[in-house]
Structure 1
């Protein structure tokens, strides 16, 4: 804070200039605008010179900075995000002052403009840091006040990303209303089977860091999986899997696991995608246990999907029971399942490097399917010194003459990774 106080005049100039530029929809700041801002805020030439030396604002050419001639040049911020951030600081300063009406008018006029979204996101976070309750309420009241987006999707996107910037604290005004708005749009997207809308909502949520981990949001996902018609469940499971959930709620995990008992093998197969993503982040034991059971499912697609989920979890899924089951699957008739099993072992790396696994992968190097041979070579290469047995090295040497080019390349890499240790 001491630095901010010391540089207050320079920051005020940068903030005001950035705000005026964003309002005018320009990133090339004409000399007339720069001079107007200096005049309006009473910025002296030495303050302007110091602001240039900070390095965030540049003149249009590469000439020397810090002299009066610079005022005759156009200017620009070195990156648009700097201009957006400083514009947000100016907006917050307006909200914290007696000129808050200017800020309110700006919000009401521009809140649905895509180019200004980051300004509002920055402002929502800066306001929380300021702890100015009146300004925080003024900002959110303006966001939720008139005028409104005609369709509503832009309004939902704006309040979602702004709420996320506040870390979704309980003290944030309109918090419940913001979350309810998002959930209503999610329900609508699935009820209408609107894939484009589902994709748009997923992109909005994935631009956030907190929203997707809220209990309210994940419980709603669980509810949708339970109550929506069968033909919607596939899309809901895929939607959940596409989200960056890093703190899965137990209710969501339990509901996903429950879907593994569904009669429709397509639903069972699809549910493994979000389970794998969740397991990758959380490594939940109940997820691994259910995936282990799924490896014995009579449907090949379900087994392959379980392999994909375990592969996403990598080392976190490397329990002795899972590894033993994968060894068995490497001998299955379906080539895709064999490939899936070897891919999981590759993802587990040295954690899966038991003698039994290495022996089975050695056999897989002679598999009739090129993809299986490729994956087995890759898996052995990831197992480090433990995989460098004489039999494996000999097999890899043979694989260097494989009729499939990508198998030869992979065998060469694995042979290099293991062979230098062996020799």
Structure 2
């Protein structure tokens, strides 16, 4: 078995997408998704196995099929039992065996030999402390269970086993060289990486580029740079992305006319990560890449996405001073943040962030600060994301209001970005009186989503916003008619800690211990 796991962020994203897709099949799908994430995080053992994609899919499937009105608690044993049943049903379906009318007992009886084999294999692997199950161990287990692949040809295709090539070549070799960095920059190693760049594997060419990039200026050899330039044309986005990253790490010594032209061309790549890395690479090459060349290329890219009328207007700009062109471009990108086409919005946001971090920080911040008060809610929301990414610790009340509003957006990606922006602000421990006043007002808002978002935001700030006004508002919210608002208030109080231990708060949490829903009781327990 190979654990090619999800990150924590992947788990949250997958669970939210899973329940968004079944919202027409079950009530309160998004709330059930949040409940599942809370359950996973509160159970380290299950949280651990959820990092394996197939396990997470099985857990989500089981959770969505469970009637939580009747089921009040869930144990590890029950979870594993249900996962096992789902896997067995998948296995039977692959063999065109109708399992729909089978009970769990009948399913287990039908898969008896397979389950016996897997149980024995798991025990043997645990006993030998092996994560990768060797062919020898499989043969040993087949013998012990008196099981034959001739009689059970699908035995190794039950959904939890995957073949693994453990030879130290390809990706593994590249990863080792990445860790060595400049120390690995020998002619022989560079020649080997140039060769691996042409490998037919999906991953190895990109890893070879990254390994070269970690060697920095020592990889600034024409043959190496030529090889990376070829990777800029690769059909796989991650190879192009890694090629840009490598050229940026080599820096000014890679800044030939051909390389600069290649990176400028990559600014128009269809993939955002490629564009981002190309932008950063050009910035790292310093004065060898004049700002006006980058701005000119950005204008060309922007023109190509616009109507002919607007395009003509922008073409006139190309005859103006570079500074004027940049100002006009930033202004047009600001307006593009409100476009109906989400791809145009994403590209405009990304370009402004890239410009704000490299060639035009002051200009972008000035325009985006003004956009925080724009009449168009789309522009305001995107301005919040850009401002947070670029401006560091400079926090305005409009920014907090905009981010809290974005927490209720129907688009999952926007909600996710809003959460990340708030976390970034909170990491800087910025909680001004203006921010606290906004949060207090939101706790009393008529809209339950606003109250929920206020609790989530307070929870992120923790003890930094534990004023009497905030605590009084949370006491009121503990009596809210919406259960997920009450849950969010409990979570906020848990994060506030001892500063929130007033008599009113404690009494409110004690009442929640009598709640009919187990997750609300659990949240109250944790807060206490």
TM-score (norm 2): 0.47
5+ residue gaps, structure 2? 1-133, 137-164, 303-328
Aligned twin of 1:234: 345
Report if the CA contact (8 A) 2:440-2:469 is conserved: yes
Residue 160 (structure 1) aligned with residue 244 (structure 2): yes
Deviation at 1:389, TM superposition (A): 0.8
What is residue 524 of structure 2 aligned with on the other side? Answer: 411
- Structure 1 pair 182–122 and aligned structure 2 pair: CA distance change class (3 A): same
Structure 1: stretches of 5+ with no match in the other structure: 1-59, 63-73, 190-197, 416-423
Pair 407,205 (structure 1): closer, same or farther in 2 beyond 3 Å: farther
Residue number among 218, 225, 234 corresponding to 2:333 in the alignment: 225
CA RMSD, 1 decimal = 5.0
Which residue number corresponds to residue 254 of structure 2?
172
Aligned in 2, Cα 1:289/1:376: closer, same or farther, shift over 3 Å?
Answer: same
User: Residues of 1 paired with 2:195 and 2:403: CA distance?
Assistant: 57
Name the CA distance, whole Å, in 2 between partners of 1:344 and 1:155.
Answer: 38
Match of 2:393 in 1: 283
Q: Residue 362 in 1 paired to residue 475 in 2?
A: yes
SS for the counterpart of 2:254 is: coil
CA drift of 1:393 comes to 0.5
Summarize deviations over 1:112-162 as a string: whole Å, max 9, x none.
9742322232224325146xxxx52332134336x9847695774353121
Instruction: Please identify, of 147-156 and 333-342, the stretch whose mean Cα deviation from structure 2 is larger.
Output: 147-156
Q: Specify the alignment match of 1:93 in structure 2.
A: 186
- Counterpart of 2:205? 116
Shift of 1:357: 1.0
Give, in angstroms, the shift of residue 340 of structure 1.
Answer: 0.8
User: Counterparts of 1:11-50 in structure 2 under 5 Å?
Assistant: none
1:200-279 to structure 2, matched below 5 A, reads 201-202=272-273, 204=274, 223=330, 225-226=333-334, 228=336, 230-232=339-341, 233-236=344-347, 249-278=361-390
Q: Aligned partners of 1:104, 1:412: CA distance in 2, in Å? A: 55
Q: Per-residue displacement from partner, 1:141-191 (whole Å, max 9, x unpaired)?
A: 34336x98476957743531212433xx33323453343122122xxx3xx
Q: Give the count of matched residue pairs.
A: 313
Contact 1:327 1:360 in 2 (8 A): yes
Match of 1:46 in 2: none
Residues 150 and 401 (structure 1 numbering): CA distance in 2 closer, same or farther, change over 3 Å?
A: closer
Structure 1 ranges of 4+ moved more than 6 A:
87-91, 102-105, 205-209, 212-219, 240-243, 245-248, 304-307
Q: How many Å separate the matches in 2 of 1:410 and 1:104?
A: 52
Equivalent-residue separation in structure 2 for 1:338 and 1:307 (angstroms): 16
Cα distance in structure 1, aligned partners of 2:166 and 2:500: 60
CA distance in 1, matches of 2:409, 2:227: 51
Q: Determine if contact 1:291/1:310 at 8 Å carries over to the other structure.
A: no
Matched, 1:136 2:221: yes
